[in-house]
Amino acid sequence: MQSTDERNLETIPVGPLGIIPLASCKTLGEKINNYLVTWRKEREHEHKSSIAFKDYMRDTYIIKAVTPRFGSGEAKGVIQESVRGDDLYILVDVCNYSLTYKLFGHINHMSPDDHFQDLKRVIAAVGGKAKRINVIMPFLYESRQHKRTDRESLDCALGLQELVHMGVDNIITFDAHDPRVQNAIPLKGFETVQPVYQFIKGLYRAVPDLHIDKNTMMVISPDEGGTGRAIYMSNVLSVDMGMFYKRRDYTRIVNGRNPIVAHEFLGADVEGKDMVIIDDMISSGDSVIEVATELKKRKAGRIFICATFGLFTSGLEKFDKAYERGLFDYVLTTNLVYQTPELLEKPYYINCDLSKYIAYIIDTLNHDDSISSLLSPVARINKFLDSHNK
């Protein structure tokens, strides 16, 4: 990641910076806040004392907000500090199922719907007093329900439109399942960020002597929908790419989807090469383990599984067994969604921390500066690879 000094942040901030991490994003929000506090205290800015830079340096940028619930399960959003004129960044992890609330005496785990409602409650509590509202939602709410294949709802598009109608100016997400969903809000800011740079650093952290070369490595897309992601990474690394085509049984529906009959491989010979399987999420994990199994049948070398969101909806037991069988070497996911303590302790797991990256994005946007270089990290990736190759 580039140093803060390499960016031109001489512009006047949009407004005093305020960060509201909802309970689902508390740990990530605190890490982001620590970076921003440190950078702004160290930054030499000639206009620091002017009124335009009021509250530029603070001991914390976190604004306290809570979403308490009544015994019936109903809730409200409460902001406990003034946000008048602030440039607000609200963080929410809609996948954090570890949070609970009482419903008529029963314990309920929070669902994506609960988290999204809490986000709207906090926006409503702002009451239009903020200068600008930005939502950072790493896992885009309902992003798997982004298109119609039958007479069915378009939940992701409706959710985005709801936020915009409530006064949200920018929505920042990571590795959206289908970025074209931004067409639902064409007049507002929508950015989907790829964490490829963090994956490459994570790979070198796991295997310091890793050699990236077209003769020794391939990037694999586990399905046809993720080919764009794999093409980007393979082009950046100058290696070959392969993909699997999921052949499904469209006569049946199991757990809300058509079951996969077979994985058909399209690509060059994989024998002896390191494989990087890259996807947007690990849900149950069945798909990536099947892909790893197929690659091992073709005599592939080491296998690294990279996914932006590690949901592990069916638990970790199948990954433990696959690791013991030698089907893969490492799993890399980010801290953008809730990670269980059990996951963090696994010998095959590599955590890719995105807090510094998000802090850069917030810092730059608060100065109303371009984040294009942050969204396309090719120069930083090349610099990182050059330093390792030397």
Query: Of all helices (H) and strands (E), which one includes residue 122?
Result: helix 112-126
Q: How far apart are CA 119 and CA 130, in angstroms?
A: 15
Nearest to 244 by CA among 274, 209, 289: 289
pLDDT of residue 49: 66
Vertex 154 angle, CA 153 and 159, to 5°: 120
Cβ-based neighbours of 276, under 8 Å, separated by 6 or more: 199, 203, 217, 218, 219, 220, 233, 304, 306
Query: How many angstroms separate the first and last alpha carbons of the chain?
Result: 19
Contact status, residue 173 vs residue 138, Cβ threshold 8 Å: yes
DSSP labels for 273-323?
-EEEEEEEEESSSHHHHHHHHHHHHTTB--EEEEEEEE--TT-SHHHHHHH
pLDDT of residue 345: 96
Sheet with 260-266: list strands edge to edge. Answer: 260-266, 240-248, 217-221, 274-282, 303-310, 330-334, 349-352
Q: How far apart are CA 115 and CA 1, in angstroms?
A: 30
pLDDT of residue 379: 86
Query: Of all helices (H) and strands (E), which one includes residue 117?
Result: helix 112-126
pTM over 0.85: yes
Nearest to 22 by CA among 122, 109, 106: 122
Q: What is the largest CA-CA distance in the chain?
A: 68
Q: How far apart are CA 48 and CA 17, in angstroms?
A: 14
pLDDT of residue 307: 96
pLDDT of residue 4: 44
Contact status, residue 147 vs residue 178, Cβ threshold 8 Å: yes
Nearest to 196 by CA among 389, 31, 354: 354
Block means of pLDDT (10 residues each) for the chain, 390 residues, are 54 91 96 94 71 82 95 92 95 96 91 96 95 97 85 92 96 92 94 93 92 91 87 92 84 79 84 94 91 94 96 94 96 96 96 96 92 85 83
pLDDT of residue 5: 47
Cβ-based neighbours of 277, under 8 Å, separated by 6 or more: 220, 221, 222, 288, 291, 292, 295, 303, 304, 305, 306
